[in-house]
Amino acid sequence: MLYLTDFPELADDGASTLTGTCGSEPKFVCEQVFEATGGNEALTQIADWLIGRPLSTLLIVFVAWIVTRVAQRYVRRLVTRVVAPDRDATARRLAMIGIDNPTSIMGAEADPRRHARATSISDVVGSSITVLIWVVAAILVIGEFGFNLGPFIAGAGIAGVALGFGAQSLVKDCISGLFMLVEDQYGIGDIVDLGEAIGEVEQVTLRTTVLRGLDGTVWHVPNGEVQRVGNKSQLWSVALVDIDVAYDSDIAAAKNLMLSTATEVCTSEQWSPDVLEEPIVLGVESLGADGITLRMIVKTSPGSQWALQRDLREALKASYDSAGIEIPFPQRSVWVRGDAT
């Protein structure tokens, strides 16, 4: 029996024909059809274009889809574990070290801010990974059909550079937004000061932050333009009340009355759930032109300080009036001169 290997010159010719038909790295389908048809180049190329390359394309797309789903799933789990850890697992670990009441440390309920932030971060990271995977898959598919990837990659690089220069502000906004989400600088429902705009956060995206001011104005602030963030309602807040008394008032009595009135307001049924600590009278804040300013602070839950300040001022006004302590106001003397005769 004769074999092709017994005739090296024919073996070399067959290998060169296969390489010329199917390329330097022949695919499985192309090679099998070439061998089955006895080296028919026309049938081999037709089968390669109609069967081999579409199958390779479908395989690449299928693998990219699987990798995308797996990556998004594990990114979501990883981000959720870091930003919003499993409370049950944490409670079990605390119980193992002898803490019988883990809710006293962890809190009774899960923080919705953490879950919202985890969702936003996982969506951003997952979308970026998805885009990267499908770009690589698209390049592999283009290579399957025999296109030269060199000019394509070079053109994509030039387009990327041009897009980078033309969309610097957009890239800056997106990067700043990502760091704002990761660092939890503010969340939906917070009262923040972003410099030019002050209000309640209604929406946080990767590019912009939407605020609604106290007068109802909706502000759309690009994240890249935010130079500083003042969050007035994160974790806890402080109700600060300044009140003036006349110079001839008894300062000690005014301070005691301020403390007792504030304690009565803070321990009421309306405010006791929002007051975190007892009121503190700091004392004389300033000596003004018209009176002496006394200052008091109360630590409250986030966002409730403004309403508490209003109720405290109203109660202090009534208490000082009842005690005969004068709250001064500017007084001016007006001289009326008649015409000289």
Residue 180 placed within a domain: no
Residue 340 placed within a domain: no
pLDDT score for 4: 40
Beta-bridge partners for 175: none
Indicate if 35 and 77 belong to the same structural domain. yes
Residue 341 placed within a domain: no
Indicate if 19 and 126 belong to the same structural domain. yes
Least confident residue range of 41-45, 150-154, 184-188, 250-254: 41-45
Residue 179 placed within a domain: no
Indicate if 220 and 242 belong to the same structural domain. no
Cβ within 8 Å of residue 248, ≥6 positions away: 326
Please say whether the beta carbons of 322 and 242 come within 8 A: no
The span from the CA of 254 to the CA of 284, in Å, is 11
Model pLDDT for residues 7-51, shown as the tens digit of each residue: 444 344 444 465 555 555 556 555 555 556 655 555 565 555 555
**What's the domain range around 303?**
237-323
CATH number at residue 283: 3.30.70.100
Indicate if 213 and 155 belong to the same structural domain. no
Indicate if 201 and 242 belong to the same structural domain. no
Indicate if 205 and 114 belong to the same structural domain. no
| Alpha carbon separation from 73 to 34, 61, 128, 243 (Å, rounded) | 43, 18, 14, 56
Residue 175 placed within a domain: no
Indicate if 131 and 5 belong to the same structural domain. yes
CATH number at residue 189: 2.30.30.60
Indicate if 143 and 251 belong to the same structural domain. no
The span from the CA of 140 to the CA of 90, in Å, is 44
Number of domains in the chain: 3
Model pLDDT for residues 236-258, shown as the tens digit of each residue: 889 999 999 998 889 999 999 99
Indicate if 155 and 253 belong to the same structural domain. no
Indicate if 204 and 309 belong to the same structural domain. no
Indicate if 28 and 77 belong to the same structural domain. yes
The structure's pTM equals: 0.56
Residue 295, SS3 per DSSP: strand
What single string gives the DSSP state of each residue in 181-208? HHHT---TT-EEE-SS-EEEEEEE-SSE
Indicate if 153 and 283 belong to the same structural domain. no
The span from the CA of 241 to the CA of 307, in Å, is 12
Residue 214 placed within a domain: yes
Please say whether the beta carbons of 187 and 117 come within 8 A: yes
